[in-house]
Structure 1
Amino acid sequence: MKLKTYTPEFRAEAVKLVLEQGLSQEQAAQRIGVPKGTLANWVSAAKRSTDPAAPPGSRSVAELEAELAKLRKELAVERMEKEVPKKGHRVLCEGVAARYAFMKTVRLEYPLGLLCRVFDVSRSGYYAALDRPASQRAQDDEKLKIAIKAAHVQTRQTYGPLRLQPELATQGFEAGRDRIVRLRRELGLRCKQKRRFKATTNSKHAYPVAPNLLEQTFAPTGPNEAWVSDITYVATDEGWLYLAGIKDVFTCEMVGYALGARMTQELTAQALWKAVRNKRPAPGLILHSDRGSQYCADDYRKLVEQFGMKASMSRKGNCYDNAPMESFWGSLKNELIHHQRYATRADAESAITEYIEIFYNRQRRHSRLGYLSPASFAEEFSRQKLAA
């Protein structure tokens, strides 16, 4: 059986989950779908690769991690101490009974000691006020609210009730769609709002144009039969950052991408090389794009022929001919780019790489894939193919 390989970019982003975002190795391994031992080896290798030119007296990675954990804890406590009065400002001027009632509603969200300190009550008085437990349904709702809030953050505020339902089910929380809608409304949770964006490539050139082989029929029967490609741009304080991407129509996976300060055929070639390196497709694959000069240039067309691929291009000005790629651009911009400002191209490149490698390819659920992520869908397809 062919050993599974991981790209250097994916390994780097996986290590960041542990060293920078504070996840345990087990949590990070489950999130991105890799063996815990493999991730542990990557983290150990990253910790060993210290800079030999570091000045004397510089602190070790372990010391920095401990200090970071301490600061995160202090910051979390300070944040909660500010949050609680905002949520319970109406009961601050009321009697103790009203404070106890409010504390009961947020008890599962905040430490009891913090709540008692903010509302100036004692632990014993709070416990004495709990004369009878809430109903089982109310208790289940509170637990489900916590799970919904956690999933809302984990999925980057992009999941509505339909995609959130299977996400919660995998975590052991079975709930109907209407119940999820109601609890999301009570929590005041909403998905990120969509914004419109424009196309980037220039089709006004004298290069030859390939025929449209797909003709809006996006129905391959397996991976690496049809890829779609395109270029978009991201604004930074340093100037534009261009992103060339290639997506597998069957699995919805981003199989190759490249980022650069200039929109050139070298950028599209780099994305194609990376896709071929990652997937090793058989000859005959259809590679679709728009009519941009970067895709029609002689060197790029020769590269496509060298890999044994069939070039396909959209009709002029028809974005629907490249709908799967436009769908990815919409997800990327609505879920990430339009909600951040990047000081440098490097900041934008890091965020986009993490979005593709960690979230989009391995976590984001797609309705056309039966609410599975591209990686999970590809693994399931491969498993069923071997069992057949």
Structure 2
Amino acid sequence: MSSQRYTPEFKDEAVRQVVERGYSVAEVAERLGVSAHSLYKWVNAVKPDQSEVHANELREAKTEVLKLRAQLRRTEEERDIPKKGGKVLCKPARVKYQFINEHKTRFSILSMCRLLDVARAGYYAWLHKPLSARAIEDMRLLSLIRASYAASAGVYGSPRVFQDLREVGESCGVHRVAKIMRRHQIKAIRGYKTPRAIAGRPSIIAPNHLKREFTVAHPDQVWVTDITYLRTCQGWLYLAVVVDLYSRKVVGWSMKPSLAKEIVLDALLMAVWRRRPKQRVLVHSDQGSQYGSDAWQRFCKTHNLQPSMSRRGNCWDNAVAESFFSSLKKERIKKRIYKTRDIARSDVFDYIEMFYNQTRRC
């Protein structure tokens, strides 16, 4: 049967059965009563070349890959730009422009402008004029400020530098001068430099004979002593104690409103009267001025006591005395402020003599 008997509409519908609905050519030809050869010709005339289909699919896949890569790059930039530019997010626009210029080889300028909330036109305008008129004026004032500062040998602060600038005809304000000096770390050099204590330096008055040997075999072999302070509404009340390392009891104490050397002498005298040691006793202290006084040295020599001192700034060398003060303040004082020094004396006496030395478990 000749294909001229079939209209174009019939041919299109027959081809659609094969191409769109997925029926086979033989099945459609049998149903419609046409030859399979003719249907093949109709399908091949309408269906595009397979190689062209593959080429189109490949182009579409490449386009999709490029889109996904671009999207991934934008996502990474949106993640990394805030990390790098977190310090400039709240800064003026010119600071953000400087950041953009420094990172333009790594990130997109468009993305950085969008994330930092600045205009691209402003960035490109900034490239032609990086410094504002005020910044240029500040640089000019900085040279005058440095000249005034150098002329004073570094003793002028912003008020006097400002006066120098006013004398030469400048009309800037004192706060602007102070801001420029603060930004460039220009400040007056005044006063004396306090000598810095070197921690761990041994005493030149008495060596450290104890050397943290806090366990002894006999009483009245080693005593440790130290001073602390108590807060009262009348002022400080200072407490000096002498502790026997063998029993860990307080064998001598003294409380006074000042840190004069008598406070440590009275505490040590109480320990000597109470214990009346028969042999030479090692008395360990820190490097306080009271323990380095001539009166302390003569007292120790008179009563057959051997001075020993901790290293400077090393509280662990006198840990037993520090431990007693810690127990006193945690168990009895508890951050209390006594109304009077007499109340404080009575309370500390009760803790030492009635509780710590008598009933407290060490």
Task: Give the TM-score normalised by structure 1.
Answer: 0.41
Task: Give the TM-score normalised by structure 2.
Answer: 0.44
